Structure formats: C-alpha cells, structure tokens
Amino acid sequence: MFIVLLIGTFLIMEVVAWSAHKYLMHGFLWNLHEDHHTKNPNSFFEKNDYFFVIFAVPGMVFILLGTIFSIPYTLPIGLGITIYGIAYFFVHEIFIHQRFKAFRNTNIKYFKAIRRAHKVHHKHLKKEDGECFGMLWVPLKYFSENK
C-alpha cells in the first residue's frame, strides 16, 4: 500500500501542477509567475521561485505527520509530493531552463518533446492564451520533429 500511495501521489501531482499552473499562476498569482515568462538575464532568482516553497510545504507537513505522529498513509503521500518536486526541479529548472548548466543536449524523444511543449508555453508572454501547462505529461503532438 505504501508504494501504491507514493506512486499514485506522484502521478496525481502532475494534475495538481497542471491545474495550479493554469488557474493560479496564470490567474490571480500571475504577479509571482510573470517574471518566469519575461526572465531578467541579470538575476538568477525569480519571484516565481516562491512557488518552490509554496509547493514544498504540503510535502513536508505530510512527511512530518507520518514520521512524528505516525498518522497512517501520510508518509507515502508526503514522499510522493516531495519526489515530484525533485523531478520538477531537475526537469524544469535544470534541463529546460538551464538554471544550472547541465543536461542540455539529448537524443531522447521524450525529453525533446518536453522541451518543445515548454517552448510553446513560453511563447506567450502574458497570462492569457497559454498552453502546455503540464511538466511531465506531454501531448503526443510534441513528439513530432515538425513541432
């Protein structure tokens, strides 16, 4: 049951991330997310980085509830949230946006598709008319070399 909850939570986090990105970040929290679409080349940090903290809190709370208070099912849920956050960091911050110069070139179709979809998302500099709000799930059309 532990592994099922951990993997299930990880998978559900893609839906949570997509929804939060589309409806919160491109909605009333646009003031925190906007600088991610209009990057200041002179600054390593963005206001958008606050979302790292916002999304880390539930994972930490669930882990603490499971470890300190032994509340059933909370530890695997917290770990699933946290592992998704780690995956997000590596894929979005390191691979896509090159915040740390590493892992740029790849011949893996899945990673090329992620990069294409994210590039389409960032072509919109305003909060309206966005597309491709997910991170790990990529629509099939982005696997085509023509995109």
Long-range contacts of 46-53 (CB under 8 A, 24+ apart): 51/25, 52/85, 52/89
- At 89-141, the pLDDT tens digits run 999 888 888 877 776 778 889 988 988 898 888 887 788 877 888 888 888 99
Q: How high is the pLDDT of residue 145?
A: 67
CB 93 within 8 A of CB 135: no
Mean pLDDT of the chain: 90
pLDDT of residue 4 exceeding 80, the answer is: yes
Global confidence as pTM: 0.89
**pLDDT band for position 146 (50/70/90)?**
low
